[in-house]
Amino acid sequence: MAIDRAKRGDAESFAALYGLHKRRVYSLCLRMTGNTAEAEDLTQEAFLQLYRKIATFRGESAFSTWLHRLAVNVVLMHLRKKGLPEVSLEETLEPQQEDGPKKEIGARDNVLAGSIDRVNLERAIESLPPGYRIIFVLHDIEGYEHNEIAEMMGCSIGNSKSQLHKARMKLSNLLKLSRAEKASRR
Amino acid sequence: MTCAEFQKVLPYIVDTGGNADEEAHLKSCPVCSDLVADLKYIAEQAKLLVPMVDPSPRVWAGIQSSLEREGLVRPAGTARFPTPVMPGRWASGYRLLGFAALLLIAIGLITYHRGSRPATTESTNISSPAPAKVKPAGVDEEDTKLLQQVSQHAPAMRATYEDNLKSVNQYIADAEQAVAQDPDSEEAHDHLISAYGQKAMLYQMALARSLE
């Protein structure tokens, strides 16, 4: 109902939609950019685009899915203008020894299971290089499939899988490092 | 199959499973099975990262002014939307104290407001079935009072407030745990301040609704 009223330009209904969806859109922007000021600007831009484009929403998908995709496109467009994804894509295509699998991690007491909390994970994601972070956020947090990410990012499905793997490897290393640092302080 | 061969194809099979050779290596190799377990664990934990942070009220103010500037909405038709302005850049400790004080004031006002309800409302309630006293999981006693207030003034919003309170309480618990684990971490303290700030904001919004 609020969507139909917002489509007719009803400001109260638009405010209600903002109230319902602002947290998810802002979190997406914040996680993808890792920057509060940019995330606020992009959230604002996403909702302004929503206001301008809501009349084109045909209900073929859930409204939240449609809005979410709109917000992702706003962020990706912004990042493209900044030139970040291209640089990061190239960077992450290069094999990096530090992110590669490490065979010595096989010791059973060195597995991560049960040791991650939300704050540590958020912090580790924030410190990922932008190219890794974007793919990780889109796939593992937001639930996009590799074919959708490939389409949005303009890369191959294989590239999306490869970057996601590197992002998870990097996170694994960061989380283990953080755990070891904490243990050494005790 | 060697570990190097397995790990070379891992990005493409980790979420979907591999062929017979790859699965056999995974079963027999503790190094690779631990690696896969770690990667899957990270992916599982990431799925649990629900959005926790609200944008600053500045965002809504910016949207409103842009729409007004473009003539898409009239200034007089400003939509009512409770977006309390949060304090600026206080020192961390003062901010935390401020949020705690705000929370206490909000709780106090709600309690006072409940106590000063007209007698007619009370008498109406006598003939009604006694409201369930069951405290919803994930909220404390003060939260339950707040939810009762919301139920009286805006029944449709109760579920939303309850979900938000549960989320913010979980966020506070996580942040407290992070601070306990790493008392010197400025970031952990910031998370805790942000969590308390969000709870104070929820109380403020509910209070604004109940005083309307």
Shortest distance, CA A134 to any CA of chain B (angstroms):
13
Residue B164 belongs to domain with CATH number: 1.20.1420
- In terms of domains, do B32 and B70 share one? no
Residues in A closer than 8 angstroms to B67, CB to CB, are: 11, 48, 51
Select from A15, A40, A108 the Cβ nearest to the Cβ of B58. A40
Shortest distance, CA A59 to any CA of chain B (angstroms):
23
Select from B41, B59, B178 the Cβ nearest to the Cβ of A43. B59
- In terms of domains, do B74 and B128 share one? yes
- In terms of domains, do B60 and B150 share one? yes
Residues in A closer than 8 angstroms to B187, CB to CB, are: 119, 123
Q: How far is CA B128 from CA B122, B133, B147, B150, B210, in A?
A: 10, 14, 19, 18, 21
- In terms of domains, do B132 and B165 share one? yes
For residue B34, give the chain A residue with the closest CA: A106
Average pLDDT over residues B101-108: 63
Whether B75 has its CB under 8 Å from any CB of chain A: the answer is no
Cα–Cα distance, B196 to B98 (Å, whole number): 10
Residues in B closer than 8 angstroms to A117, CB to CB, are: 174, 177-178
Interface contacts (A, B; CB < 8 Å): 145
Residues in B closer than 8 angstroms to A39, CB to CB, are: 55
Tell me how many domains chain B contains.
Answer: 2
Residue pLDDT, tens place only, B164-183: 788 778 778 877 877 887 77
Residue pLDDT, tens place only, A84-99: 654 344 444 444 444 4
Average pLDDT over residues A116-129: 86
- The reply to whether residue A23 touches residue B60, judged by beta carbons under 8 angstroms, is no
pLDDT of residue B137: 66
Q: Which of A12-16, A171-175, B177-181 has the highest mean pLDDT?
A: A171-175
Q: Find the domain containing B100 and state its range.
A: 54-81+89-211
Shortest distance, CA B71 to any CA of chain A (angstroms):
12
- In terms of domains, do B38 and B75 share one? no
**How many CB atoms are closer than 10 A to CB B111?**
14
- For A101-109, which contacts have Cβ atoms below 8 Å and span 24 or more sequence positions? A101/A169, A101/B3, A101/B7, A101/B10, A101/B35, A102/A173, A103/B3, A103/B31, A105/A172, A105/A176, A105/B31, A105/B34, A105/B35, A105/B38, A106/B30, A106/B31, A106/B34, A106/B35, A107/B34, A108/B30, A108/B34
pLDDT of residue B84: 34
- In terms of domains, do B144 and B127 share one? yes
- In terms of domains, do B118 and B136 share one? yes
Interface of B with A in 76-95 (CB under 8 A): 77-81
Shortest distance, CA A126 to any CA of chain B (angstroms):
12
Q: Is the predicted pLDDT of residue A45 greater than 80, yes or no?
A: yes
Closest to A94 (Cα-Cα) out of A159, A21, A179: A159
- In terms of domains, do B205 and B159 share one? yes
- In terms of domains, do B107 and B197 share one? yes
* Amino acid at position B171, single letter: Y
Residues in A closer than 8 angstroms to B14, CB to CB, are: 165
Residues in B closer than 8 angstroms to A108, CB to CB, are: 30, 34
Residues in A closer than 8 angstroms to B54, CB to CB, are: 22-23, 26
- The reply to whether residue A112 touches residue B43, judged by beta carbons under 8 angstroms, is no
- In terms of domains, do B60 and B3 share one? no
pLDDT band at A109 (very low <50, low <70, confident <90, very high): low
Whether B163 has its CB under 8 Å from any CB of chain A: the answer is no
pTM summary value? 0.61
- In terms of domains, do B165 and B111 share one? yes
- In terms of domains, do B169 and B205 share one? yes
Residue pLDDT, tens place only, B46-100: 888 887 788 988 899 999 888 888 777 665 444 444 333 333 344 455 555 566 6
pLDDT of residue A147: 93
Report which of residues B125 and A165 the model is more confident about. Answer: A165
